[in-house]
Amino acid sequence: MINLRRPLEFRYYSRDKNCSGNYSFGAKSAIVQPLNYNAPEQIRLAYGDQTDHMLVLYVTNSSEYAPECQYAYGGMGVAPAQPGSKSTVDRVRAQVSTNNITCILHIGDISYARGIGALRNAFMIHTNPITSHVPYMVGIGNHEYDHITGGDKDPSGALGPEGSNYGNDSSDECAVSTLIVGPHRPMYSSIVRNVGDPIKDMLQKSLEPMFYQYHVDINLFTHIHSYERSCPMYQGQCVDDGITHALIGMAGHNLDFDTYTGAKWSVYHDQQFDYTQISVNRTHLHYSYHRNVDDAVVDHFDLTK
């Protein structure tokens, strides 16, 4: 949608399941005004808290303002089983209700239901204040593989990576000028117990050259329940055109309290319950890391394209 010249309102009408009879009014959106620096280009519609209310979300073409935000985290689960999840949901819910949030990214280890239907239901209720407002995008973690030893229940027949702990568990890129990927397993970590981790080494060998070739800006991953961010880097060295790696597995699961090697590429790390926010437009990206306890920003960086 471009060159909006007058106020615009979206309305939803429907007929019965046989497509017969007259259309009846279902819901309407707030009014999108013209002459807006953040002119909408890609419209998304969603129901709000009431059945007759629609939300309008959009991607902007503006380079002057940066209204498009998304929140990212992993390893959340549901309280009280996972003690930090309630504070994460409370913080993100407050932001969703007051700001122009485009989507939520939950990169694996979603409910930790481990085959218990009641926990899956509790997670859906737990996150409903968020998912009823904005798209909730999820990735597959080791706790989302729905099999114990092989891929018999996976249509692809694929085996999980060696050392995964799916047990009886329950059943990325952001399109602007910035390229973000969201796997689950860490490609880099300066935690001492992860030195020599074969999966980490495999990711560096198999995927890092491709990420660098295609100019990936940020690699978000979880699995470990703490936070760590790198400098822009490639093959273990800080470089100007490198990939910024961010471990963001601190949304709710019991935290991992580890020691660190002091690697030069590691810019910041901590072990608290938190969430991250990414705001983007055509030319700029702002990344911030917020502490749940007081919503303070304790780490951030900017990218300009």
pLDDT at site 254: 82
Together in a domain, 179 and 274? yes
**Do the domain assignments include residue 109?**
yes
The residue-averaged pLDDT of 144-171 equals 49
Tokens of 223: 């699995």
Q: What is the CATH number of the domain that holds 209?
A: 3.60.21.10
Together in a domain, 105 and 236? yes
Q: How confident is the model at residue 64 (pLDDT cuts 50, 70, 90)?
A: very low
pLDDT at site 245: 96
Q: How confident is the model at residue 8 (pLDDT cuts 50, 70, 90)?
A: confident
Q: How confident is the model at residue 174 (pLDDT cuts 50, 70, 90)?
A: very low
Together in a domain, 108 and 50? no
The residue-averaged pLDDT of 20-26 equals 78
Tokens of 262: 């002091």
Which has the minimum average pLDDT: 14-28, 44-58, 82-96, 245-259? Answer: 44-58
Together in a domain, 48 and 119? no
Together in a domain, 115 and 48? no
Q: Which domain, by its residues, includes 29?
A: 11-15+23-60
pLDDT at site 168: 47
Residue 63 to residues 36, 56, 174: CA-CA distances in angstroms? 12, 20, 17
Together in a domain, 87 and 181? yes
**Do the domain assignments include residue 4?**
no
Together in a domain, 39 and 163? no
- The torsion angles phi and psi of 111, rounded to 5 degrees, stand at -105, -20
Together in a domain, 154 and 52? no
Statement: residue 75 has pLDDT above 70: no
pLDDT at site 265: 96
CB atoms within 10 A of CB 86: 17
Q: How many domains does the chain have?
A: 2
Together in a domain, 29 and 91? no
**Do the domain assignments include residue 3?**
no
120 or 208, higher pLDDT: 208
Which has the minimum average pLDDT: 1-10, 20-29, 205-214? Answer: 1-10
pTM here is 0.60
Q: What length is written for the chain?
A: 305
d(CA 203, CA 74): 19
Helical H runs in 6-116? Answer: 85-98
Which run of H or E residues covers position 53?
strand 53-60
166 or 81, higher pLDDT: 81
**Do the domain assignments include residue 77?**
yes
In degrees, rounded to 5, the angle at the alpha carbon of residue 125 between the alpha carbons of residues 120 and 128 is: 120
Together in a domain, 98 and 185? yes
Instruction: Give the chain's mean pLDDT.
Output: 75
**Do the domain assignments include residue 160?**
yes
pLDDT at site 230: 97
Together in a domain, 98 and 212? yes
Statement: residue 189 has pLDDT above 80: yes
Question: Strand, coil or helix: what is 287?
Answer: strand
Together in a domain, 174 and 266? yes
**Do the domain assignments include residue 1?**
no
pLDDT at site 170: 39
**Do the domain assignments include residue 280?**
yes
**Do the domain assignments include residue 38?**
yes
